Structure 1
Amino acid sequence: MKYQSVLAAVVRALAADAVSGVGGGDFEPKVQASKLKGEITGKDAAMLVDCWVHARLHSKLIPRHWNALTARFSTHKAKKVEAIGKLVPLIATQAPNLFRYKAVTAWAIPPVKGVQAQSGREVASRSARDRADFDALTDAVRKQLAGESVADGEDRARREQYVKRSTDMIVLPAEFYDINTWDGQGLNRTTYWRWKKAIESVLDEMVAEALVSAGKILEDEGILMADAA
């Protein structure tokens, strides 16, 4: 199996992680056990390659590149939120910490048209439990950024709640994207937009660098199509 592009390989690998478990490590034995002759074909074979690519990229990419790709493209909620938390301290900006945190989160989880309610409230189909879970996770990230301690097992328990529904899409309330709420100083909107765009530019550059590095890894492994850019 070969991938048409680096981006396709990255997206498939990250999606495989959400479907099959941590790095897809438990997928191969399950597949093998289901095959009477031990032959893996079709979708199972493709999934194994995706899981292998996930493990390869995770081990070869530098942390900031891996976290940038995970934050931007992963559908695994707990790992996406974890990656966001690891990216935030890396962003040099004049913006205060809360603004930086929310800007990175909004970049990683952009609004989905038709999902956020125009009234500023979440759509009815999103449960209160999902919202509570996400709030708990983001609260843990904020505590870590502020240097506050998180009780042993607290963050892990919160993540495990999300892992159980890891393929669900994270939906933030519409009011989260109002940049006027990202800072309490009451500065003008032009300043806030300048901060936001600068943060997004750094993150986009990080993703571009990560894809270049990932491309070199995949090319060395011979799993990119010859004409892939």
Structure 2
Amino acid sequence: MGMYKDVMGTLVRVLAADNIDNSTKQNWQKLIDAELQSGGQGAGISVRDKFDYDCCLYALLHRELAPAQWDVLVAKYSTHKANKVGAIGGLISRVTSPAPHLFVYKAVTAWAIPKLRGVQEGKRSTDMIVLPAEFYDMNTWDIEGKPESTRRRWKTGIAKCLERLEEGAVIHATEIFDREEIFIDAA
């Protein structure tokens, strides 16, 4: 039965299922719930049934994706702080780079938690992980003082590695979703 619109929206929603309690809802959840209640796509499904289905898809992805694929999706898209941090840790050990460990750690973390415009640590109430601005300063990533060109090459190589991993994970997740026929226009 199709009830989701697209792959990326579904991934974000499903990966958020482990961070949702029934007492408060994020704005995007309220929009989806309002659409369901107003007769939008999937209107015949209760909010609770949709959440249960999200949880089932979460478990299915966790079981069927390779550990590296799971980690890259959780690191990039999850809203659960502890799971996101754990997944980032898992990715750090999977990245092959000539860069020192501190550089790899900071590059992977900055990739998974990009700097948000207009958000400063401690300046706004948010349930997201917000890193201090200086964390994104590549000069702090290498204590050996390598040339900027070397650091940029390392950073680009790490990002390409993570993007390839993410692309493969999204393709695999799409195959799983297609098999389950979860999209609205799925036959």
What is the CA deviation profile of residues 12-66 of structure 1, one whole-angstrom value per residue up to 9, with x for unaligned ones?
Answer: 1011111149xxxxxxxxxxxxxxxxxx943222211111110111111110000
In the TM superposition, what are the counterparts of 1:116-155 in structure 2 within 5 Å? 116=120, 122-125=121-124
Distance 1:47 1:103 in 2: 34
The alpha-carbon deviation at position 125 of structure 1 amounts to: 4.1
Partner of 1:192: 151
C-alpha distance after superposition, 1:100-144 (max 9, x if no partner)? 00000000000000113xxxxx34446xxxxxxxxxxxxxxxxxx
Mapping 1:55-134, distance limit 5 Å: 55-116=59-120, 122-125=121-124
Structure 2: how far apart are the matches of 1:199 and 1:20?
Answer: 35
1:207 equivalenced with 2:166 (yes/no): yes
Task: Give the CA RMSD over aligned residues.
Answer: 1.9
- The structure 1 segments of at least 4 consecutive aligned residues displaced by more than 6 Å after TM superposition are none
**Cα distance in 2, alignment partners of residues 62 and 49 from structure 1:** 21
- Structure 1, unaligned stretches of length 5 or more? 22-39, 117-121, 127-166
Q: Give the share of equivalent positions with the same residue, in percent.
A: 46
Q: How many residues align?
A: 164
Aligned to 2:8: 7
Deviation per CA, 1:86-109: give whole Å up to 9, x if none.
010111111000000000000000
CA–CA distance in structure 1, aligned partners of residues 185 and 171 of structure 2: 16
TM-score when normalising by structure 2: 0.82
Matched, 1:222 2:165: no
Correspondence for 2:132 among 150, 155, 173: 173
Q: Distance in 1 between matches of 2:111 and 2:60?
A: 26
TM-score by length of structure 1 reads 0.67
C-alpha displacement of 1:82: 0.1
Q: Could you tell me how far apart the structure 1 residues matched to 2:171 and 2:21 are?
A: 26
- Distance in 1 (CA, whole Å) between partners of 2:134 and 2:58 is 34
Unpaired runs of 5+ residues, structure 2, are 23-43
